[in-house]
C-alpha cells in the first residue's frame, strides 16, 4: 500500500512538472492545460510526459490523432512480439546461433572453455569485446585488453567473474564513427514485417560519451544523423549538425534479411556496428521500447506519428 502511494505521489509530481513546463512555453492558464492533458489522456491514451514531448500543446486534434502512445504500442506488442517467443531475443547465444549466416565473424562462448583453448584464442587478438548472455548488448558490452592483465589466465578469470561469457575479437570501427566516440557507435534499425515485406520504420544512433549516453535520429534518405548532435570528443562539447554516417544500404539489407529469418517476431530493433571498411556487424536484436523518441517532433522536419501505420498493420494480423 505504501509503495502504491509513493507511485501515485510521483505521478502527481510529474504531472505538475509537465503542466508548469507547458505553462512556461505557452503562457496559457494552468487549469486549461490540466484539462487539455486530461482530455488527451482519455482520447489518445497519452501521458502528461508524452503530451509535453510530442508538443501536443501546439497541435489540433486532427494532428494529435496520428501519434502513437507508449501504452497503445505496448498493447500492440503483445501480438507483434508474443512473450513465449521473447527468449529468441533475450538469449544472445541462441540468437547468434540462429543468425550465424549473417554474423560475419565468430562470437565465442567461453563459459566452459579450457585454459589452453583460451590461451590459443588470446594469441589471435590483443583485445576482446565481451558481453553477457542475456539482456542488452549495448549496456553490457565491455572491452578487455590483454596488456592490462598478467596473463591470458587472469584475463579469462576476470571475464568470467564479470559474467561476460560471449566474446569476440575487437575490431576497428569506421573512421566516421571513431571521430565522434572512442566507444562503439551502435546504429539501430526497427523492422516490422508487414505482410510479405519488411519495413524499416525508425533508425537511430546510440553511443557512450563519457558518463553520458548520446542518442540521435538517423535520416536514412540522406545517410546522416538528423539535426544537431552534441559529443564530448569534439572540443568544448562541440555540436555536429547532420553528421554523415557510413553507407547504410548494406546494413539495411542485413537487418531485413535477419528480420525474415526471425519472422515469428514481427517487430524487432536491431543494433549494428561498422568496421573500418564499412562492413555492418550485427550486434544485437531486442524488443523496441523507444516509440516515443521515434516520434519526437523536434527531430523531424515534418511532424508525423506512427499511429496510422500501426492501425493498418494490426488489421492485417
Cα separation, 264 vs 284, whole angstroms: 17
CATH number of the structural domain 106-169:
3.30.1490
Cα separation, 309 vs 201, whole angstroms: 9
**Would you state the pLDDT for residue 231?**
66
Judge residue 264's burial from the number of C-beta atoms within 10 Å of its C-beta, 0-12 exposed, 13-18 middle, 19 or more buried: exposed
Summarize pLDDT for 199-238 with one digit per residue, the tens: 999 999 999 987 888 899 999 999 999 887 766 655 444 5
Cβ(281)–Cβ(273) under 8 Å? Answer: yes
- Of 269, 279, 277, the closest CA to residue 105 belongs to 279
Half-sphere exposure of 109 (CA within 13 A, CB side): 11
Half-sphere exposure of 106 (CA within 13 A, CB side): 7
**Would you state the pLDDT for residue 232?**
62
Q: Which helix (H) or strand (E) holds 146?
A: none
Cα separation, 207 vs 185, whole angstroms: 5
Cα separation, 104 vs 2, whole angstroms: 52
Assess whether pLDDT exceeds 70 at residue 239: no
Q: Where do the CATH 3.30.470.20 domains begin and end in the chain?
A: 79-101+174-316
Cα separation, 49 vs 37, whole angstroms: 10
Q: Where do the CATH 3.30.1490 domains begin and end in the chain?
A: 106-169
Assess whether pLDDT exceeds 70 at residue 7: no
Lowest mean pLDDT among 54-58, 273-277, 282-286: 54-58
Q: What percent of the chain has pLDDT over 90?
A: 79
Higher per-residue confidence, 4 vs 253:
253
Task: Please list the residues that pair with 128 across neighbouring strands.
Answer: 144, 169
Cα separation, 276 vs 158, whole angstroms: 28
State the CATH architecture for 79-101+174-316: 2-Layer Sandwich (3.30)
**Would you state the pLDDT for residue 246?**
96
Cα separation, 227 vs 214, whole angstroms: 13
DSSP state of 266: S
Assess whether pLDDT exceeds 70 at residue 38: yes
Amino acid at each position: 500500500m505504501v509503495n502504491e502511494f509513493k507511485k501515485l505521489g510521483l505521478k502527481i509530481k510529474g504531472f505538475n512538472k509537465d503542466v508548469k513546463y507547458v505553462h512556461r512555453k505557452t503562457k496559457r492558464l494552468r487549469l486549461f492545460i490540466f484539462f487539455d492533458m486530461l482530455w488527451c489522456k482519455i482520447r489518445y491514451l497519452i501521458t502528461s510526459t508524452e503530451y509535453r514531448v510530442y508538443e501536443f500543446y501546439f497541435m489540433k486534434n486532427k494532428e494529435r490523432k496520428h501519434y502513437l502512445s507508449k501504452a497503445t504500442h505496448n498493447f500492440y506488442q503483445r501480438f507483434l512480439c508474443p512473450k513465449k517467443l521473447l527468449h529468441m531475443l533475450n538469449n544472445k547465444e541462441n540468437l547468434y546461433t540462429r543468425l550465424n549466416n549473417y554474423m560475419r565473424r565468430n562470437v565465442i562462448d567461453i563459459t566452459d572453455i579450457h585454459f589452453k583453448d583460451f590461451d590459443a584464442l588470446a594469441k589471435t587478438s590483443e583485445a576482446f569485446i565481451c558481453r553477457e548472455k542475456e539482456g542488452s548488448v549495448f549496456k553490457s558490452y565491455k572491452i578487455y585488453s590483454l596488456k592490462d592483465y598478467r596473463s591470458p589466465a587472469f584475463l579469462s578469470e576476470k571475464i568470467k567473474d564479470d559474467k561476460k561469457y560471449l566474446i569476440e575479437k575487437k575490431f576497428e570501427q569506421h573512421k566516421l564513427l571513431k571521430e565522434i566516440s572512442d566507444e562503439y557507435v551502435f546504429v539501430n534499425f526497427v523492422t516490422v514485417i508487414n505482410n510479405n515485406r519488411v519495413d524499416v520504420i525508425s533508425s537511430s544512433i546510440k553511443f557512450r560519451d563519457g558518463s553520458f549516453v548520446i542518442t540521435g535520429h538517423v535520416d536514412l534518405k540522406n545517410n546522416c544523423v538528423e539535426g544537431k548532435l552534441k559529443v564530448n570528443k569534439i572540443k568544448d562539447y562541440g555540436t555536429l549538425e547532420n553528421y554523415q554516417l557510413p553507407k547504410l544500404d548494406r546494413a539495411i539489407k542485413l537487418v531485413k534479411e535477419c528480420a525474415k529469418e526471425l519472422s515469428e517476431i514481427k517487430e524487432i530493433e536491431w543494433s549494428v556496428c561498422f568496421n573500418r571498411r564499412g562492413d555492418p556487424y550485427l550486434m544485437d536484436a531486442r524488443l523496441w521500447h523507444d516509440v516515443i523518441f521515434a516520434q519526437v517532433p523536434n527531430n523531424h522536419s515534418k511532424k508525423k506519428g506512427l499511429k496510422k501505420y500501426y492501425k493498418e498493420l494490426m488489421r492485417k494480423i
